[in-house]
Structure formats: structure tokens, C-alpha cells
Amino acid sequence: MTELADLLEHWEPVIGLEVHVQLATRSKAFSPSAVKFGSPPNSLTDPVVLGMPGTLPVFNQQALALALRLGVATESKIRARSRFARKHYFYPDQPKGYQISQYDEPLCEDGHIDLILGGEVRRVRLQRIHLEEDAGKNTHTGAVSHVDLNRAGVPLVEVVTAPEIYSSEEAAEFMRALHRLVRWLEISEADMEKGQMRCDANVSVRRRGEDRLGTRTELKNINSFRFVQNAIEHEIARQVRLLDEGQRIIQETRLWDAERGASESMRSKETAEDYRYFPDPDLPPVVVDAPLMGGILKSLPELPTQRFVRYQKTHGLAADDARTLISERSLAEYFDAAVKAHPGDSSGRMIANWLLTELLGALNADGKTIDDTPMPAARLSELIRLVEDGTISGKIGKEIFEESYRTGEAPLAIVERRGVQQISDEAALWEIVEQVVSANAKQAEAYASGKDGLFGFFVGQVMKATQGRANPVITSDLLHKRLGR
Amino acid sequence: MSGPTEWLSVTETAQKIASGEVTAARVVENYLARIANVDRELNAYLTVTSDEARKAATEIDRKRAANQPLGPLGGVPIALKDNLVTKGTATTAGSKILDGWVPPFDGAVVEKLRAAGAIILGKVNCDEFAMGSSTERSAFKKTKNPWDTSRVPGGSSGGSSAAVAAGLCAASLGTDTGGSIRQPAAFCGVVGMKPTYGRVSRWGVVAFASSLDQVGPLTRTVRDSALVLEAIAGLDPRDSTSLDAPVPRYVDSLTGNVKGLKVGIPHEYFDATIDDEIRAAIEKAKAALVERGAILVDISLPNTAHALPAYYIVAPAEASSNLARYDGIRFGKAASGAKNLLDLYMKSRGSGFGPEVKRRIMLGTYALRSGYYDAYYKKAQQIRTLIKRDFDKAFHHVDVVLTPTTPTAAFRFNSKATPLDMYLADIFTLSCNLAGLPGMSVPCGLTVDGLPVGVQLMGKPLDEATLLRTADVIEAAVGLGNRRPGGRS
């Protein structure tokens, strides 16, 4: 996008994101209805969800535990007593006429999420993470509107970044990092197609070198990683063009239309609603005490960026490999398990190679993921050990991998059954080398007179004689010795 | 027993049914007959659930024949304020906007009453969404005061107080947000109890102001109040503000002994404008307590004057939020002929709400506007803290606080010229709700015109027992005894 690069020569974009993530609870945030995707419309409701008179909310403690995992993982300050507030607006997808959210006393503040950008870890600060309930869904067909309240009352966290993201790529990367993190923490499926993770972006531009922020617009409805990048890029370009033409940016909310690849104004600040926030009198403060925090801290896994650093420092992995390993928690855990099953700790690179090349290759070919691998980590580790200690050659190793992957048989058992152990015994190999050279005296002479290319021929003959089991390093040593150079 | 049962107390009714002296069916029929007779004029009931009540009575009588336990309120017919949600029975909260809504669930107090063996006799009138002090703001009916039908029964639980006073039920439930149980109880000469905030579950109470609303009994005797309160009190996991505290056997507190009881007399309440006859009746109640060994202690509740303005920020603010759900779409009536969504909202709400409700929605909406929260709602909440602190301090020295329930006896219809005049009728009862304390009104005599006077008792959090013990003594000494309303103007 060189055009954008030109536009950005004098202008710097500043982006802040507000990301809604559905929490994977069994029931809704404030009532007993189940949370499920794809159920018949309005089948997941109850009097509370419907906002019936006389109903009262009761906060789902599972939602709190999940939100706290994110709070701790992002090293946020966690409020010992946070509060729910009512945010009022009239719309049919909001049966009570208000949404239960958090306002001036959110659960988490001042955390951060680390992105991996160009192999480097880049920190994006979070202003807050707060709890709220989702609204229902309106569908408009012609003159008729339908309301489905299955999603109403589903617990969400809203993650709000500081305005410290400076490109659409960074914004998309933030989304990927948050997506990975919430899946890693098992607090959300975060399936963007199902609306389990949704993003609003605040975008402004300012002259390079300027400290003050420009007038921002809010982009709504950007619901895939690609749309995040496209919509923000488009908005940056729109703003820079207007400013270059000497026009002003109007503070407004704009709706991204992915099909048209353009945004349109929804409402300006002048017509912005007054949400009349006030503390919800039906809900006591959300209390986070020491036992609750203790449980959260104990159950928290090692985080992706921590692993990213460890894989490079401790195991000497390349940044790209480390990054691939942390793309899914189960993949990283598979790697860790394979390393753990391995006696030495210097084999991380080897394990990463086999895992990323052979195993992922085989899984990909079968349309499977690491979660349904037929080969447990200990087995891959065992196979790698057989290659490393010279029991089998790397080439045979790949064959054994194939067989073990298909049949589930242990690598060592396959090696023993097939009798493919590598021959590393020097005396035994010397005998074979002796036979091969004697049987090919002409070629030996030719090699001696300088036909270097024939060395491979002799190696091939030894391999043929041993069905490929000869240790190639020793074989080559002995051949050099026998052939005189 | 074939004679009238309508004037029996809750205690007596339950005993006579349990002993077989009278059947539950007979008790119910007697009430239904009296309602048919008397309520044509009084208009206490919005819905009489005759069929359901007869069925429940048959079940009680069957259980009795089978020697099964009937429950502490076995066969006792009770009326419910129409802002209490009843499964299968219309619940309007006195508003047109809920006309036709039949709830699919029972409120917690309704469940508890049924579990205790009580029979639901019907739903009684109230000011729309419990906003009012005379029941004149009901969208449906004007309920009359049984003692003088040219006068209001008080409000907002005016149907509840009138029905109990006129022998149209054994007891009733009301709700109290700023005095809505105690003031009508005083006006109708019955016992009204507003429990500690959180003592009784609000699950199934059509919300007016969530941080102030509380359900309580209106009864003809203090003992009945204790019995019904015990049946409806207790923790409810569906109400996050309900309190996790054991429910005592309240009748056990009725010892008749007030020796050494310290009764606080806050001068701020007595300095106010109070009718002479009210003042005289209150003095009698005080004297009766002193005679039986209680000690009067002059106390000060200095922030009393701020209760009214604080209340009229908090209550409307919460109401404006709680009433946002009434859009005519999921329950109640949607206006016809709406051009678009906004028009539907405006027409439904415009025609569904009465003027007092609209006034409070506007007050509350104003108070919660962005940028005004600190000046209004937050400030009012700070005043609540001060008021609560006043009481905390007082309760270091006294066991119970005694005041008039109302500055006047029941007033005539249409006699409150402005909304503010009406708001001032609750001047003595608001603090109790703002502080979350238990309060009750117990009759302490009649004016020369034959209108009942109520004395208010306020107690420490969860100390309903001391209120009941004190009220029991006042009732025995200066209560109405067997005097019943004549129902003539």
C-alpha cells in the first residue's frame, strides 16, 4: 500500500481499540439461561433476560473468575471492589432499557498486552478491562424487524487500549495477540465469525512530531482480523485526505461496511446519546478477595509471550519457530511435553523441527490440528532420541515417524521389528567397506586417480549392502581410510 | 363455627382452621361475600382470585382431613398489593402500561406465603408503580378509606391497608419505598411493618426504587404482623441485596415487657408541623410505654430535614431507570398506529404512564444526566450516609425511635393541591428507607372525627423483634381494640 505510505509521510495515525470478548460461561452473566451458539431464536431466555417486571440480576461468579484470569494475565490492577453501572438506551435488543456494565469503577485498569512485531515484543497498554452483558440481536428484513434475545445477557469483557497503536498492522496484530491470549487462558472461544470477539476502533491522525491527538472517529462493526486492518487503513486514508484538503475531521461514529470496503457516518457527537450511568442498585459491589485471587494465580498457565521468550533463550529456537509454537496453547504444550520427555535439554531445536515439519505436516495433510494428534508428545520425543543417539538414521526416522503416526505403534518397537537399527559398529562396517571396495576395484582405482565424484558411489554401495542402515558418518570415515583419501 | 370469620386475626383464623372449628372453604366464602358487599364502595381490590382461592381452601381442608400439616398460615386469606408478581394472575402495579400482563412466575413473598399455607385472595389497588401517598394515582380505581369514605386510604399501599381495615382479608402485603406501608397503615388504623432493607426478598416486586423498596405485612394486630413477617423474611439467592441472617420467631418477642427499654424521641420530628390530635395520640403512646417501665430519651437526628430532597433525587433516579423497560413490546400494551420505533416508544409510554410517573421519570432522568450525577444522585447518596450515621449514633443510646407516622390523619380526596404537598405527607417515613432501617406503624387512637392515628417505631438493622415488642405494648395500651371502621362519611 504505497499510496498509504505516501499519505503517512507527514501524518501519524493514532489508534485505540475497544474489544468485546464473550466469556465462555455455562450460563448468562446475571441469570440462569444457558449460553450456546446457534440455538433457535429466543430459546435461551428467562424472565431476567426478558427484562420482566420483578426480576433481579445475580452476578455469575464464573464470569468473574474468567475476567480475572485476563486481568492477571495482562498484569492489570484489580479492584478489590468494583461496581456494576447501568447504561441506558432504548432499543429492542436491550429488554431492560439499560445494559448492565461497569463505568467509573471497572474490574481491571492499567494492564498491558504484549504483541510480537517483527520478532520483537511490543507492549500495548490497556486503560481498562470491564465486565458487561451483551445485547440481543436485531434482524431487519424489509419492513419487519426480528429480535433474538439468545445473546442478551451473555457475559462480556470489554478491553480498552490506550491510544498507543500506530498502524493498521499493529491494530490487527493486537487483535491476534488478544485472540491468542483469551483462547490461551480458556476464557473465550473468541470466534469472530460467531461474534464472540468484536472490535471498535478509535482512529485519529496528527502531524508527525505533534503531541496532541487529532479529532477521532469511532469505527464500529469490524469483525475479522482482515476487516480491522482494512477498515483502519481506509479510515486513516480518509482522514489524511480530508486534512490535506484543509478540511476538518468531525467527531463521529462510523459503521464499516466490509462488502463495500467503506465506512459511513452513523451519528455525530452532537447527537450522541446520554447513557445516564449510575451504580446498579440491584447489584452489590463485585468483591475480589485473597482466596479468589489465590485460586486465579494458581490456575494461570505460562503466557504466550513468556513462552516466546523462553523458547528462544532456553531452547535456542528461531523467533519464527517460537512464534509458531505459541500460536496455540496446545501446540506449545505439546512442545513442552516433548521436551520434558526428552532426557537432554539441548534438543529443543530438533524437537521443534520434527514437531513443526513432520507432525504438523502430517496433521495438516489429514485436516487435523494438534488437539487431535494421534502421536503423543512422548512418542515423538522417543523417535527423536533414536535419531539422536544414532540408533536410526534421520532418513529412516522419517519412515518410522510415518508408520508410528499411522499405526500408533511405538517408534522403538517399529525399529526393532523392522530391524532398521543403524550399524555403527566399526569392525562390522569395515568388513562391508572391504567387500564393496574389493568388488569394485576399477572404480577404486579411478577414485584414487582423482575421480572425486565416485565417493558417492561407494557410499551408495555400502548403503545398499546394509539396506540403508550403515551409519553415514562412520561409513564415510572408513571409506576415506580404505580408499586412501 | 358458622358466624362471621372476617374479623378474626391471622392467628385466630389459622388456629380455628387447624382445630377444625371452621373450614378454610368457609373462611374464604365469608371473605368473598364481604368483598362482593363492601368492596363495591371501597374499591380495594383490582382482582379477586375467587377460583384460585376456593381451590386452595379445598386443598387446605383436604390436608386437614388427612391430618397433614397446614403450615403456620394454613388457610389464612391474604391480599397482595398489585405490584407483587403472581403467576397466572394479572399484575398491573396500578399502571395501564402493564394492563393485561399475566406473569409467568411468582414473586418470592408469594411463594413463601403459599408455602406457609396462606391463600391468595386477590390483588389490591395502589398508586401507579407505588408512586404516591393516597392511592389516587392508580390508573384504575380510587380506593376509599373505610373509616371515612370521603378520605384517602393513604398510599401507595392503600388497597392493602383498606382491605385489612375493612375486613376484606385477614392480612395483606404492601411495599414501602418511602412510607408506602406505614402511612396507609396509619391512615386506616392497621399495623404496617417495613422490614430492614434486605430482610425480605425483592424477587417479584415490580421495582420502583431498588435501593429503597421493601415488602412488608399490613395486619390488624401486632401478633399477626410478627407471624406474616416470619413467613416472608429470609435470604433469597435471586435477590443479591437480600440479607443472609437467620429469621427469628418474631412472635416470641411479644413478651409485653418494655421495662428499661430506651425509646428515643427525636426532637426534629416533633418540632415539625403536626396536627394537635396526632400529637396528643402520640403522647398517649409515649406515656403508656413510660408507665410500663420504658425510658424516654431525647435524641437528635440532625439530617432529618435533608431526607425529603435526598429521597426525591434517589427514588426518581432509580425509577427512571427501572421503568425504562416499559416499551410496550414484551408485556403490557403497545400503542397502535406507531410510524416507527421511536414513535412506538413515545406513544406506548406516553399513553401508558400516568402524570405522576411521568413527572418522576423526568425528575430522575434529569438527575442522572451526564455531568449532573455528582451534583444530584451522588450528593443524595452522601446525604443517605449522613442520615444513616445519625441513626447509628442514636442507637448507641436507645433501642427504638418513636415518632408520629404522619403529620395528619387521612386527608380528603383531591386535597393535595401540588405534588409537593403530597410528597410532604411522607415527611416522617422517608428517613427509614434512606437508612435501610426497619420501621412500623401501629395504631394509637382515633381523632375526634374518628380517624385513626399511627405511631411510628424505627429500629436497628434487623431488629424487627424490638419494634414488634414495643408495638405490642402500645397496641394493648392505646390501640383501637374492637373499634372498627363504620365506613360512613
pLDDT value of residue A271: 62
Q: What is the DSSP string of A188-233?
A: ----GGGTSEEEEEEEEEEETT--S----EEEEEE-SHHHHHHHHH
Report the percent of chain A where pLDDT is more than 70. 98
The mean pLDDT value of chain B amounts to 96
pLDDT value of residue B335: 85
Q: Catalytic annotation on B81?
A: yes
Nearest CB neighbour to B325, from listed A57, A95, A282: A95
Rounded average pLDDT over A124-142: 94
The answer to whether the Cβ–Cβ distance between A53 and B238 falls below 8 Å is no
pLDDT in tens, B274-297: 999 999 999 999 999 999 999 999
* Domain extent listing, chain A: 2-295, 302-418, 426-483
B202: chain A residues, CB-CB within 8 Å = 56
* ipTM of this complex prediction, to 2 decimal places: 0.96
Judged against a pLDDT cut of 70, whether residue B2 lies above it is answered with: no
* Domain extent listing, chain B: 10-261+437-478
Nearest CB neighbour to B241, from listed A52, A92, A282: A282
If you search the block for the grid coordinates 377460583, which residue do you land on? B51
Judged against a pLDDT cut of 60, whether residue B56 lies above it is answered with: yes
pLDDT in tens, A176-207: 999 999 999 999 999 999 999 999 999 999 99
The residue annotated as part of the active site, out of B9, B95, B156, B225, is B156
The answer to whether the Cβ–Cβ distance between B93 and A53 falls below 8 Å is yes
pLDDT in tens, A196-249: 999 999 999 999 999 999 999 999 878 889 899 999 999 999 999 999 999 999
In Å, how far is A353's CA from the nearest CA of chain B?
55
Nearest CB neighbour to B85, from listed A54, A145, A278: A54
pLDDT in tens, A345-364: 668 899 999 999 999 999 99
In Å, how far is B206's CA from the nearest CA of chain A?
4
Q: Catalytic annotation on B150?
A: no
Rounded average pLDDT over A321-329: 91
Fold observed for domain A426-483 = Arc Repressor Mutant, subunit A (1.10.10)
| Residues written for chain B | 489
Residue A336, C-beta contacts closer than 8 angstroms, at least 6 positions apart: none
Give Cα separations from A180 to A116, A303, A358, A378 (angstroms): 12, 10, 24, 26
Q: Are B186 and B406 in contact (CB under 8 A)?
A: yes
The answer to whether the Cβ–Cβ distance between B321 and A278 falls below 8 Å is yes
To the nearest 10 degrees (0 to 180), the angle between helices B108-115 and B222-232 is 110
C-alpha cell at position B130: 407505588
The answer to whether the Cβ–Cβ distance between A53 and B324 falls below 8 Å is no
CB of B330 less than 8 A from some CB of A: yes
Instruction: Classify domain B10-261+437-478 by CATH number.
Output: 3.90.1300.10
Rounded average pLDDT over A465-472: 85
pLDDT value of residue A345: 60
B236: chain A residues, CB-CB within 8 Å = none
Question: If interface means Cβ-Cβ distance under 8 Å, which residues of chain A face chain B?
Answer: 47, 50-59, 86, 88, 90, 92, 95-98, 145, 274-278, 281-284
Which residues 176-215 on chain B approach chain A with CB closer than 8 angstroms? 202-207, 209-211
Q: Catalytic annotation on B180?
A: yes
Rounded average pLDDT over B433-445: 98
Gap between the terminal Cα atoms of chain A: 58
In Å, how far is B208's CA from the nearest CA of chain A?
10
What's the burial of B374, exposed, middle or buried (CB within 10 Å: 0-12/13-18/19+)? exposed
In Å, how far is A41's CA from the nearest CA of chain B?
15
The answer to whether the Cβ–Cβ distance between A55 and B203 falls below 8 Å is yes
pLDDT in tens, A141-182: 888 889 999 999 999 999 999 999 999 999 999 999 999 999
- Find the radius of gyration of the CA atoms of chain B: 21
The answer to whether the Cβ–Cβ distance between A56 and B211 falls below 8 Å is no
pLDDT value of residue A346: 65
Nearest chain B Cα to A272, which residue? B370
pLDDT value of residue A2: 54
pLDDT in tens, A278-302: 999 999 999 999 999 999 999 999 9
B377: chain A residues, CB-CB within 8 Å = 278
